[in-house]
Amino acid sequence: MRQIKLLVWLLVVGVVSSTEQLQFLKNFLEAVHKERSISTILLIQRKVHKNDFLHGLYPIFWPIICLDETKRVELVNNFNKDFLALVYMESEADTLLLSALAADLNHIRDARIMIWLQMSPSENFLDRIVFQASKQKFLNLVVIENTLKTRRFYPFPQPKVQVIDKPFEEKEIYPALWRNFMGKNAIAVPDLVPPRSFNSFDPKTGHRRESGSIYNVFKAFTQRYNITMLLKWPLIRNTTQEEIIGKSVRGEIDLPITGQLISFRHPNGSRSQPLLGMTALSIAVPCGPELPMFDRFFLFYGLATPITITGYYVLLNTIEIILGTLSDRIKRHPRRKKILNLVLNLRVFSCILSLPTPQGNRLRSVKGQLTMVMSITGLILSCIVAAQTSTILTMKPQYRHIKNFQELSDSNITVVCNHLNYLTIKQQMDPKFMAKFMQNIWIVNSIEQMKMIFDLNTSYAYQTFSYKKDPFTLLQMHTTRKAFCRTPGLDLVSGLAYTAVLEKNSIYALALQDYTLKAFSAGLVYYWAEESIRDLISTVGRTQFEKLPIVIGYQSLKLQDYNVCWKILLIGGALAFCVFIVEVVVGLINRRI
Ligand SMILES: *[C@@H]1O[C@H](CO)[C@@H](O)[C@H](O)[C@H]1NC(C)=O
Ligand SMILES: *[C@@H]1O[C@H](CO)[C@@H](O)[C@H](O)[C@H]1NC(C)=O
Ligand SMILES: *[C@@H]1O[C@H](CO)[C@@H](O)[C@H](O)[C@H]1NC(C)=O
């Protein structure tokens, strides 16, 4: 009985022989490798500790990098993150190894880490490890003490370590904890630049709510990964996008609801690239004014249509005269023809105008056949004219607008640009090009710039992002007249990836990258963009920007569109009626005489 008690006591205290420790270590490495292959082992221990704790395991299958707290290597530049970091600690002072490790693992802090404690740790010591691990944003960490008691680090929602009883019997030693943030609070700040994020008006409830293309991405992301999004509207309304990016990089904001172009990302931010879209930088110029009605008719009909119609008239009239004369000769009763009748042939007229012509029973005569031909010609001509007329009335043609950089520079128009994009353009473009073609630049913040665009302020040209179904295109699709035009000739750069901004080594990086990639390939990113633009249009329609002549769908021709035609018809009818009355009166008078 005493012996059993002693054995239990020994087990509890956990005296474990070094062979058992080595066996455990060996099993551990194999299990981790089986889970996800290890490319390299990074062994890190204090310089003062001379003994190699892997001694006895050699030969080891994997290459080993040995570092101590004095050496700094940014491993990300030379290795992938499939390595296993082994940290050896003997005393409480050894926690400084964690900050050394953090420096080595810059940008790859989600690599797998195992801390081997050659001692029995106090609660206090474990707390310090947890504090350090959470501060350095380690995600995959296991602490094993010399009694083989194994603890796993859980970073979310509050960082803690928990003992795992049978590490090798669990499904995974390093589970992907970043798939569930367990309701961790994340501070999100929107930049309030539509359509990325804005206050939309919900007609159902009559309340304002958050909306926007990037806001939608982050909202779905936080729901999917069990993150509590603490939305903080910027205190000062005109917090710029740059300030938000700067704050995010300094770690004051977890999830900034904004984006940056991948080629011009903040140098101190995360290297992960959560893709939010593809875009081009282009310049939108004011469209030419709408053509006045006369110009439109002239543009479409030009001189060709009247000349064609007159030509037909002359031709048909001549044929009729020749045939009439010939037929009179044959029948031998010549009729005298008035000169006026030769020029103004009402029958040819009415045929060309597609009006009903008295046919009589002359269908089989030459003249009857000619009338048929004339009627068909008239039908075709009137169809052409009708088609052209409806084009003029439905389409609103505009004068030509600026099509390339040369014209832009010649027109001397001011280009309104936001600061971030201005810096981007300056970085990307040849200074000579800038000096030559874009001398007049006015820098405003993005919110102001969007407001000017919505106000249809056509005194300026604007630098905009252009992508598939961007708000610029969609907004103008719903307006009756086009205010701004874009041409490929005014694209500055195209094919740029637009990505989210995150703090360096952000704990959300892996999850967000994973999520946006899936959302992007499923087309959700575009869907959300469209949804938010619909929202934007309905909000814009009912609030401050009332100038936008919004029409949902296309306009068809209505009877009112033919106003002028109806009036002419009415005047003609009235005139004919008057003539008729005069004729009747004259007839009556003549009869009396
Ligand atoms: C989300 O986090 C909460 C803790 O805040 C947790 O209780 C819940 O189980 C999590 N949800 C899922 C689906 O994992
Ligand atoms: C913010 O807007 C206010 C007025 O709306 C203006 O006085 C202030 O200068 C602006 N701040 C910045 C940083 O643009
Ligand atoms: C990036 O960080 C370094 C050092 O922390 C700092 O000197 C530099 O100004 C930062 N760069 C920017 C653009 O903020």
Cβ 226 under 6 angstroms from ligand 1: yes
> Is residue 150 helix, strand or coil?
strand
For residue 4, pLDDT over 60 is answered with no
Phi, psi of 288 (to 5 degrees): -65, 155
Q: What is the model's pLDDT at position 109?
A: 92
Cβ 268 under 6 angstroms from ligand 3: yes
Ligand 1, atom 2: closest residue by C-alpha: 182
- 95 compared with 201, residue with greater pLDDT: 95
Q: What is the pLDDT of residues 144-160, one digit of tens each?
A: 998 889 999 999 889 99
449: pLDDT confidence band, cut at 50, 70 and 90? confident
- Nearest-angstrom CA–CA distance, 12 and 379: 106
Q: What is the pLDDT of residues 250-278, one digit of tens each?
A: 999 999 999 998 888 888 999 888 999 88
Ligand 1, atom 1: closest residue by C-alpha: 182
Cβ 267 under 6 angstroms from ligand 3: yes
- Nearest-angstrom CA–CA distance, 286 and 456: 9
Q: What is the model's pLDDT at position 547?
A: 52
Cβ 158 under 6 angstroms from ligand 3: no
| CATH code at 180-290+398-557 | 3.40.190.290
For the whole model, what pTM was predicted?
Answer: 0.76
CA of 198 to the centre of ligand 2 (A): 19
Of the residues 268, 424, 504, which should be mutated to test ligand 3's pocket, given the most ligand atoms within 8 Å of the CB?
A: 268
325: pLDDT confidence band, cut at 50, 70 and 90? confident
CA of 257 to the centre of ligand 3 (A): 22
**What number is the average pLDDT over the span 558-565?**
78
Q: Is 423 exposed, middle or buried (0-12, 13-18, 19+ CB in 10 A)?
A: middle
5: pLDDT confidence band, cut at 50, 70 and 90? low
Q: What is the model's pLDDT at position 124?
A: 93
Angle between helices 293-301 and 304-331 (to 10 degrees): 60
- Residue 84's DSSP bridge partners are 41, 112
Report the mean per-residue pLDDT for the chain: 84
Q: What is the pLDDT of residues 477-536, one digit of tens each?
A: 766 667 788 888 888 888 889 999 999 999 999 999 999 999 999 989 889 988 888 888
- Nearest-angstrom CA–CA distance, 335 and 494: 78
- 352 compared with 555, residue with greater pLDDT: 352
For residue 10, pLDDT over 50 is answered with no
The H or E element spanning position 220 is: helix 213-224
Q: In percent, how much of the chain has pLDDT > 70?
A: 91
Q: What is the model's pLDDT at position 12?
A: 47
CA of 547 to the centre of ligand 2 (A): 25
Cβ 251 under 6 angstroms from ligand 3: no
> Is residue 380 helix, strand or coil?
helix
Ligand 3, atom 2: closest residue by C-alpha: 268
CA of 225 to the centre of ligand 1 (A): 9
Domain assignments of the chain as residue spans, ordered by start = 13-179, 180-290+398-557, 293-394, 562-592
**What number is the average pLDDT over the span 11-19?**
63
Ligand having the closest approach to the CA of 180: 1
CATH top class, domain 13-179:
alpha beta
CA of 228 to the centre of ligand 1 (A): 10
Ligand 3, atom 4: closest residue by C-alpha: 268
- 395 compared with 582, residue with greater pLDDT: 582
Please name the residue that has the structure tokens 């300094």: 250
For residue 218, pLDDT over 70 is answered with yes
Q: What is the model's pLDDT at position 542?
A: 60
Other CB atoms within 10 Å distance of the CB of residue 359: 11
CA of 237 to the centre of ligand 2 (A): 8
Q: What is the model's pLDDT at position 494?
A: 85
- Nearest-angstrom CA–CA distance, 506 and 186: 11
Q: What is the model's pLDDT at position 543?
A: 54
Q: What is the model's pLDDT at position 40?
A: 92
Cα dihedral 475, 481, 483, 487, rounded to 10, equals 80
